[in-house]
Chains A and B, each alone.
Chain A
Amino acid sequence: MSDDTALKVSDYLREPLILLNTSFNNTDELFTGVNEIAFEKGFVTDQFLPKIKARESTFPTGLQLEDRGVAIPHTDADTIKKEFVAIVVNQQPISFKRMDDPESTTPVKVAFVLGLNQPHAQLEMLQSLMGIIQDKAVLDKLETASNKQEVQQILN
């Protein structure tokens, strides 16, 4: 693949890893839920769950936006076998610690769990992700999406 192939978030969506209407109570439950599917489907190694939990507690990934929070949990490349961006839309906001201030939390309904193993090679996708995060209308639509196809359409 050449370096200038622009990849968007939608190219990293995997149908089993779009989780809607979940009822996780905290980040550990969310990671366990994502890992259950990701591990079973061969996206991650058995180190993914312990490492993403540890990573989130040391370097949290909650981003406080003007009117809500989002989170972009991720961990070491060596735990990822096949790349993905998992989308979790939880019924109720989950408290994520903030990236810029781990002493504070931000309420997160939409989390993007990044399974990336190509350092430096995913700039376009990450930029497209930041574009999504900074677009209130898109986040609103994701929060109310009723099925996986809708999520794919919103992000296309």
Chain B
Amino acid sequence: MNKKVNVLVACGAGIATSTVVMKKVEDLFKENNIEANLIQIKIAEAASKQDDADLLISTTVLPTQYRIPAIKAMSFLTGIGVDKVKAEILDAVKEIQSA
């Protein structure tokens, strides 16, 4: 059994775009049999919550450097480059699970 990954899903207000991305990431993980805890946050909370998480997925620009891998996922909103960002997320999860 692969390790369950803890994922922060962030946007500016933690109210609109992260809600959409949460669902997309949930579906992506389900399709790929990845077990994950998804936590919806405001990007401002990411720095303090990163210690309990393996991966950050955000729809905003990243205001700082994080110790965990961070992926920008506006593609889920615009529909442009969705396959690329999905691959990026799956690669990051693979790396986390093999660490």
Contacts and interface: CB of A to CB of B under 8 A. Distances in A.
A78 B87 CA distance: 36
Contacts of B40: 119-120
Contacts of A9: none
B16 interface: yes
A81 to B, nearest CB: 15
A101 B17 CA distance: 16
A109 interface: no
A46 interface: no
Q: How large is the interface on A (under 10, 10 to 19, 20 to 34, 35 or more residues)?
A: 20 to 34
B47 interface: no
Interface stretch (B48-56, B70-78, B90-98): B70-78
Contacts of B15: 74, 76-77, 116, 119
Contacts of B22: 123
B16 A114 contact: yes
Given A66-B80, A99-B74, A133-B77, A55 B20 contact: no
B12 A59 contact: yes
Contact of B61 (A75, A102, A130): A102
A47 interface: no
A149 B33 CA distance: 45
A29 interface: no
A127 interface: yes
Given A59-B13, A134-B79, A120 B43 contact: no
Contact of B43 (A59, A75, A127): A59
A74 to B, nearest CB: 5
Interface in A63-91: 63-66, 72, 74-77
Leading 10 A-B pairs by shortest Cβ distance: A59-B12, A134-B79, A100-B74, A126-B20, A119-B15, A59-B60, A63-B78, A74-B16, A123-B19, A126-B19
17 contacts: A55-B12, A59-B11, A59-B12, A61-B12, A65-B80, A75-B13, A76-B15, A99-B60, A99-B61, A99-B74, A100-B74, A101-B61, A114-B16, A116-B15, A119-B40, A126-B16, A130-B20
